[in-house]
Structure 1
């Protein structure tokens, strides 16, 4: 709600840095990542966003949990290697996109009422939500990584305590 740049092209919405708290939470632990993801979805619900956006936010639990489990014992080595970091960012972005595409597809095909899309599936769901989410996810992961690294050893010590 306070992120500065928002692009809305139904059914996709992209808010710069909106995933940074989730990625940041992934660096701590799976429990923190899932909690932040659920908190984000509840925030969207309480703010009165459309149900499709709220459910897309809830789908973040999937990539947050998978990513945090992977990072649990690999965080330092992954963050130390730009190649590993980009590879992880891409794959977690694909998981992120698949979860959101699944949610939007349920609305697109009318399995969950509440949305009426005039554009075709390929454009509306695959390109806008799927490809757009991978790119958005990778940008936000990069931002979270920059913040984590800038805080240095303090964050590593804190993460070990959690």
Structure 2
């Protein structure tokens, strides 16, 4: 069960995940047909990884809701729903003591593959799905990972989590 503090933090990150595409979608969006990306849209997902698997899943669902409101395109919202899986797996990596850079690098290809697979039933060619959407998603994921890094450092989440992990290992 999530404690109240984590629930509030997850709720705030979920709200940010909704607000980014709704408010900033037009100004931060990169569109290379058939690929779209909204810069900074993965920041809440990366931060939620430090709150745990459940929080990451909630924030990922919020991302899908935000994209559904911002762009009434089921393909974009379904791709955003993949943030549930990517964030949850990233949170498991964080729980296992992986560094932030490793988490970003481990989850990037997973993110790209999931989003590429999602678009195939919508009539995308295999080439467009894997090369344009898959590689585009990986590049977007890494760019947002870079954007998130100074925020993570400013919040001291990585150091706090590592020290808590170390305490649990010693106890």
TM-score range (shorter-chain normalised) is: 0.7 to 0.9
RMSD of the TM alignment (CA)?
Answer: 2.2
Which secondary structure does the structure 2 equivalent of 1:99 belong to? helix
Distance in 2 (alpha carbons) for counterparts of 1:19 and 1:94: 14
1:37 and 2:41 correspond: no
Q: Is contact 1:24-1:145 (8 Å) kept?
A: no
Count of residue pairs brought into register by the alignment: 139
Normalising to structure 1: TM-score of the pair? 0.76
- In the TM superposition, residue 44 of structure 1 has moved relative to its aligned partner by 2.0
| Structure with the larger RCO, 1 or 2 (CA within 8 Å, 6+ apart) | 1
1:127 and 2:150 correspond: no
Task: Indicate which of 98, 103, 114 corresponds to 2:113.
Answer: 98
Distance in 2 (alpha carbons) for counterparts of 1:135 and 1:68: 20
Q: Per residue, is there more helix in 1 or in 2? A: 2
- In the TM superposition, residue 48 of structure 1 has moved relative to its aligned partner by 4.6
Structure 2 vs 1, CA of residues 74 and 46 (structure 1 numbering), >3 Å: closer, same or farther? same
Which secondary structure does the structure 1 equivalent of 2:104 belong to? helix
Normalising to structure 2: TM-score of the pair? 0.72
Task: Indicate which of 130, 139, 144 corresponds to 2:143.
Answer: 139
Moved over 4 A (4+): none
> Which ranges of structure 1 fall in alignment gaps of 5 or more residues?
80-84, 109-116
1:149 and 2:153 correspond: yes
> Which ranges of structure 2 fall in alignment gaps of 5 or more residues?
1-20, 165-171
